[in-house]
């Protein structure tokens, strides 16, 4: 029983981190029509940068502040160099971002190396929770993810840039005719998407391994969350990520992780059979 | 104030505008008529930079528009009411209204707009998509007004509007024009165009083929029949 609770808790924590990362994937897809195969690698770059900050300064907390900013810059740069040239050719986005994924992985392998390593959490204490000793850092990770997700929604609904993002998403032509710099909105959206994945990497760093292939595992999970949540439905993405990870966590307590993943793929197929536009379609758009 | 000289535009390889020329003077209301698909919307989109001009020049207040980034064109003083109104349905009425503003407009502007459109004021927090067609059209016009334009171009503002509301929209456009703002009006509804505009251009296959004062055109049944297929 304790194992089920522990893995279920871990599932929820991981689900919130995935929600943060998948939210970035979802806004990039929603606004730019880009299917970002490199999104898992944005997360991976976040973990590696967090590792680098820790190695360089000895202070993991700094990574929470620095890495999202670097991610934002990298995102803006990549949008300019890779995404803008293929605008209006959405089908090319899979090829282009797949290439980007390889470039990011190989750059990390060439610099950081191929050997995975582990980071020690900046908080190492545990507290008793539901009859088990639970790592405080995992609770902190969940907290940071929730704060970042809420901050993003506030940004989307309360700031000029957020309003512009919603307008451009609906009708880029009219938005432009009203004076909105759609080009810049696309670039900032992509940059925010990278920053969110990178922050996810910092948060997850101490509870996963730092590895140039870390994104390969995260990407399908994010896609599942985006699809089950309903394409382009941001709130749905968040809810689906948490549910999926909780489900996989509980499954993993009595089956091996591969079976758990198969289980959640089956769950996704089932959801799509019953509700082809995602569980939360029609609720909010 | 606005001048199009031999403007060309393409959609891919399709040559849609084939040397369109027209002019709108300060304070004037000008109509642009023509059958379906002759290029009226494309003309307006080319003015707004949404469709790139592939030839000719577009000058507004002495300034060439074709080299300007499209999102800078509203700043020069041109407001645009697109065909189908272009309201963002998931944005609130207030967000729709202020979408383009980086700073709040002077209070006399907002007072004026809310005076004219009291129903928008009551619905500020409602999503734009919940407004009726007529209210959305008012919102589209109000959205231009808060930007304090010198010229407003409107693409079939009475299309798909309940007949009893068509008069209201006409009245609002007239009121805007009376404050000295120039109007370039694309219409299928000839009556609306003849009422509001002093001069009318008629387009056919991507060029302007006829120009007349509204007064003359009203009685020119032959032209009306030939280019617009109406018998009055
Ligand atoms: N995005 C597009 N791609 C290709 N062709 C287009 C596009 N938009 C319009 N066209 C074509 O260009 C021509 C002119 O279209 P436009 O919309 O300017 O006509 P219009 O005079 O506004 O017609 P309506 O009265 O129906 O609004 C038409 O033949 C139309 O089929
Ligand atoms: Mg049209």
Residue A161 phi, psi (nearest 5):
-60, -40
The residue contributing the CA closest to ligand 1 atom 5 is B11
Distance in Å, CA B221 to ligand 2 centroid: 24
Give the Cβ contact number of residue B47 at 10 Å: 27
Among B70, B76, B102, the residue to mutate for chain A (most A Cβ within 10 A): B70
Q: Distance, in angstroms, between A123 CA and closest chain B CA?
A: 42
Q: What is the pTM of this model?
A: 0.92
Among B177, B228, B207, CA closest to B30: B177
- Provide the pLDDT for residue B222: 83
At B145 the pLDDT is 93
Each residue's pLDDT tens digit, B124-180: 999 999 999 999 999 999 999 999 999 999 999 999 888 888 999 999 999 999 999
Q: Stretch A8-30: mean pLDDT, rounded?
A: 94
Inter-chain contact A160–B88, Cβ cutoff 8 Å? no
Label residue A285 by pLDDT band (50, 70, 90).
very low
pLDDT at B56 over 90: yes
pLDDT in the model for residue A271: 83
B95 CB contacts (<8 Å, ≥6 apart)?
A163, A167, B88, B128
What CA–CA distance (Å, rounded) separates A198 from A46? 4
Lowest mean pLDDT among A3-12, A173-182, B49-58: A3-12
Q: What is chain A's alpha carbon radius of gyration, rounded to the nearest angstrom? A: 19
User: What does CATH list as the number for A2-112+122-274?
Assistant: 1.10.3470
Ligand 1 closest atom vs CA B43: 18
Instruction: Judge whether residue A280 has pLDDT over 80.
Output: no
The verdict on the CB of residue B41 being under 6 Å from ligand 1 is yes
- Atom nearest to B186 CA in ligand 1: 22
Tell me, what's the pLDDT at B232? 55
Residue B231 pLDDT greater than 70, yes or no: no
Q: Is B99 close to A178, i.e. CB distance below 8 A?
A: yes
Closest chain A CA to residue B94: A163
Residue A209, beta-bridge partner list: A118
Measure the CA–CA gap between A23 and A241, rounded to whole angstroms. 9
Query: Hey, what CATH class is B2-86+149-228 in?
Result: alpha beta
Residues forming a β-bridge with A120: none
Which residues 6+ apart lie within 8 Å of A1 measured at CB? none
Does the pLDDT at position A282 exceed 70?
Answer: no
CB atoms A179 and B80 under 8 Å: no
What does the alpha-carbon distance between residue B127 and residue B89 come to, in Å, rounded to a whole number?
6
Nearest to B123 by CA among B103, B142, B151, B145: B142
Domain chopping of chain A, boundaries: 2-112+122-274
B71 contacts in chain A (CB < 8 Å):
176, 179-182
Distance from CA of B226 to the nearest CA of A (A): 33
Taking an 8 Å cut-off on Cβ atoms, the answer to whether B99 and A173 are in contact is no
Q: pLDDT at residue A283 above 50? A: no
Residue of chain A minimizing CA distance to B71: A179
Complex-level ipTM beyond the 0.85 threshold: yes
Which residue on chain B is closest to A158 by alpha carbon? Answer: B95
Chain-chain contact of B102 with A178 (C-beta, under 8 angstroms): no
Task: Give dist(CA B179, CA B162) in Å, integer.
Answer: 26
The CA distance from A198 to A48, in Å, is 9
CA B35 to ligand 1: nearest atom:
25
């Amino acid at each position: 029983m304790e194992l089920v609770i522990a893995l279920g808790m871990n599932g929820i924590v991981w689900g919130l981190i995935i929600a943060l990362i998948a939210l970035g994937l979802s806004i990039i897809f929603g606004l730019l029509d880009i299917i970002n195969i490199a999104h898992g690698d944005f997360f991976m770059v976040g973990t590696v940068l967090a590792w680098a900050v820790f190695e360089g300064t000895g202070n993991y907390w700094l990574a929470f502040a620095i890495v999202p900013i670097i991610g934002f810059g990298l995102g803006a740069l990549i949008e300019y160099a890779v995404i803008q040239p293929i605008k209006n050719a959405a089908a090319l986005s899979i090829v282009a971002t797949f290439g980007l994924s390889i470039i990011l992985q190989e750059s990390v392998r060439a610099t950081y190396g191929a050997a995975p390593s582990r980071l020690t959490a900046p908080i190492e204490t545990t507290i008793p929770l539901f009859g088990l000793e639970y790592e405080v850092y995992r609770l902190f990770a969940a907290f940071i993810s929730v704060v970042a997700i809420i901050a993003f929604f506030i940004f989307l609904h309360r700031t000029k840039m957020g309003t512009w993002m919603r307008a451009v998403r609906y009708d880029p032509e009219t938005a432009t005719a009203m004076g909105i710099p759609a080009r810049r909105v696309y670039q900032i959206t992509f940059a925010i998407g990278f920053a969110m994945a990178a922050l996810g990497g910092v948060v997850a760093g101490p509870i996963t391994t730092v590895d140039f292939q870390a994104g390969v595992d995260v990407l399908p999970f994010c896609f599942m969350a985006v699809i089950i949540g309903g394409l382009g439905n941001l709130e749905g993405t968040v809810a689906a990520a948490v549910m999926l990870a909780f489900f996989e966590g509980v499954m993993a307590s009595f089956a091996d992780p591969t079976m758990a993943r198969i289980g959640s793929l089956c769950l996704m197929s089932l959801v799509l059979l019953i509700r082809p536009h995602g569980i939360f379609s029609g609720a909010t758009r | 104030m606005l001048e199009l000289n031999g403007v060309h535009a393409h959609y891919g390889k399709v040559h849609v505008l084939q040397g369109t020329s027209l002019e709108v003077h300060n304070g004037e209301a000008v109509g642009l008529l023509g059958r379906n698909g002759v290029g009226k919307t494309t003309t307006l989109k080319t003015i707004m930079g949404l469709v790139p001009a592939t030839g000719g020049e577009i000058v507004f207040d002495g300034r060439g528009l074709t080299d300007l980034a499209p999102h800078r064109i509203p700043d020069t003083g041109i407001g645009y009411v697109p065909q189908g109104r272009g309201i963002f349905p998931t944005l609130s009425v207030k967000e729709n209204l202020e979408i383009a503003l980086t700073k709040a407009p002077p209070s006399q502007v907002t007072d004026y707009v809310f005076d004219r459109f009291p129903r928008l004021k009551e619905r500020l927090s409602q999503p734009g998509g919940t407004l009726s067609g007529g209210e959305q059209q008012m919102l589209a016009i109000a959205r231009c007004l808060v930007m304090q334009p010198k010229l407003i171009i409107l693409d079939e503002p009475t299309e798909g509007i309940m007949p009893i509301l068509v008069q209201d929209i006409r009245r609002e456009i007239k009121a805007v024009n009376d404050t000295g703002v120039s109007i370039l009006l694309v219409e299928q509804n000839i009556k609306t165009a003849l009422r509001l505009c002093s001069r009318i251009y008629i387009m056919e296959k991507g060029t302007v083929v006829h120009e007349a004062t509204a007064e003359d055109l009203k009685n020119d049944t032959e032209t009306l029949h030939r280019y617009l297929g109406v018998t009055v």
